[in-house]
């Protein structure tokens, strides 16, 4: 076996004293093979205190020199690199695809759609824009087309809006795409402070449309609107 520093020191000191392992074992009150087994076979793995102290006296060294070296801390487990996000076919390096959903968010009285449907197309955006300007994950973004005039002049029918589906809490208030129980709509949503049960106010920008309230449980928040594309 490969000798550790403590065993090498014991051998060196015994040789310097002009004796051997057998006589050193007997001198400390152990059987003749004790130190031979310790050095060559690793038994015991570490000298106990009642052996280390008399052996240090016999060899003329401080007992601290015969202490076993501190074990090295275990190596940290290797850090697995994050899985690579598979780039959709046809997407160029440096760009990310944002799905456009096959549903129109009604900005009017409400479109009779039972929620968000499957993507019909994808738009490509520079990843740097998504990361730094939108501060979003492209996999959590969706594009939806506005239908109606209740959010005019802010949002007009035919506008495409980008929805961050990771943002579903109206704090701070903002424009959200929601399912309000009647349809998928784009509205300004505000939380009513200290309401119990939690209540939200749903507003239109167009004054021709009424403001109304719903309990938070009644409103399915699809996501916050963070960008809009308009035709001029």
The tokens for 139 are 């996999």
pLDDT at position 187 is 93
Low-confidence residues in the chain, pLDDT < 50: 84, 109-115
Domain boundaries, position 12? 5-66
Regarding whether 220 and 111 lie in a shared domain, the answer is yes
Is residue 151 domain-shared with residue 211, that is, in the same domain? yes
**101 located within any domain:** yes
Q: How far is CA 92 from CA 86, 88, 203, in A?
A: 12, 9, 40
Domain identity same for 197 and 108: yes
Strand partners, 198: none
Does residue 78 lie within any of the structural domains? no
For tokens 């940290």, the residue is 76
Shared domain for 44 and 139, answered yes or no, is no
86 within domain boundaries: no
pLDDT, tens digit (0-9, with 9 covering 90-100), for 5-29: 888 888 888 888 888 989 999 999 9
Q: What is the CA radius of gyration of the chain?
A: 38
pLDDT for 208 equals: 93
User: In sequence order, what DSSP letters do the residues of 133-193 get, joined into one string?
Assistant: II-S-GGGEEEEEEESSTTTTTS-TT-EEEEETT--S-SS-EEEEEE-SS-EEEEEEEE-T
What are the φ/ψ torsions at residue 163 (nearest 5 degrees)? -115, 125
Do residues 41 and 113 share a domain? no
The per-residue pLDDT for 84 is 44
Q: Residue 121: beta bridge partners?
A: 100
- 112 and 38 in a single domain? The answer is no
Indicate whether 152 and 106 sit together in one domain. Answer: yes
Domain with residue 23: its CATH number is 1.10.260.40
CATH code, 190: 2.10.109.10
Does 16 share its domain with 104?
A: no
Residues 57 and 169 in one domain: no
Asked whether 184 and 111 are in contact (CB, 8 A), the reply is yes
Residue 178 lies in a domain: yes
Is the same domain home to 151 and 193? yes
Domain assignment of residue 80, yes or no: no
pLDDT of residue 1: 57
Instruction: Report the Cα–Cα distance between both ends of the chain, in Å, rounded.
Output: 83
Residue 209 lies in a domain: yes
If asked whether residues 61 and 120 sit together in one domain, one would say no
Final residue of a structural domain among 46, 66, 86: 66
Q: Between vectors from CA 227 to CA 222 and to CA 232, what angle results, nearest 5°?
A: 125
Per the structure, the count of domains in the chain is 2
> Does residue 89 fall inside a structural domain?
no
Query: Tell me, what's the pLDDT at 2?
Result: 67
Tell me the pTM: 0.57
**Alpha-carbon distance 134 to 116, whole Å?**
21
| Whether residue 174 sits in one domain with residue 116 | yes
Task: Please report whether residue 184 resides in a domain.
Answer: yes
């Amino acid at each position: 076996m490969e000798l550790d520093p403590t065993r090498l020191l014991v051998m060196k000191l015994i040789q310097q004293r002009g004796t051997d392992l057998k006589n050193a074992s007997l001198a400390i009150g152990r059987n003749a093979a004790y130190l031979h087994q310790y050095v060559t076979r690793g038994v015991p793995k570490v000298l106990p205190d009642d052996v280390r102290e008399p052996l240090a006296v016999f060899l003329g060294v401080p007992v601290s020199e015969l202490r076993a070296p501190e074990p090295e801390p275990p190596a940290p487990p290797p850090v697995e690199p994050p899985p690579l996000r598979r780039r959709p076919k046809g997407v160029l390096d440096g760009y990310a695809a944002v799905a456009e959903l096959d549903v129109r968010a009604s900005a009017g009285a409400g479109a009779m759609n039972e929620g968000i449907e499957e993507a019909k197309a994808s738009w490509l955006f520079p990843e740097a824009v998504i990361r730094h300007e939108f501060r979003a994950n492209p996999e959590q973004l969706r594009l939806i087309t506005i239908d109606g005039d209740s959010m005019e002049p802010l949002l007009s029918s035919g506008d495409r809006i980008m929805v961050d589906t990771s943002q579903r809490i109206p704090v701070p208030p903002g424009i959200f795409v929601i399912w309000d129980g009647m349809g998928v709509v784009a509205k300004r949503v505000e939380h009513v402070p200290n309401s119990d049960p939690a209540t939200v106010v749903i507003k239109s920008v167009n004054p021709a449309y009424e403001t109304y309230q719903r309990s938070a449980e009644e409103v399915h928040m699809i996501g916050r609107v963070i960008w809009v594309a308009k035709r001029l």
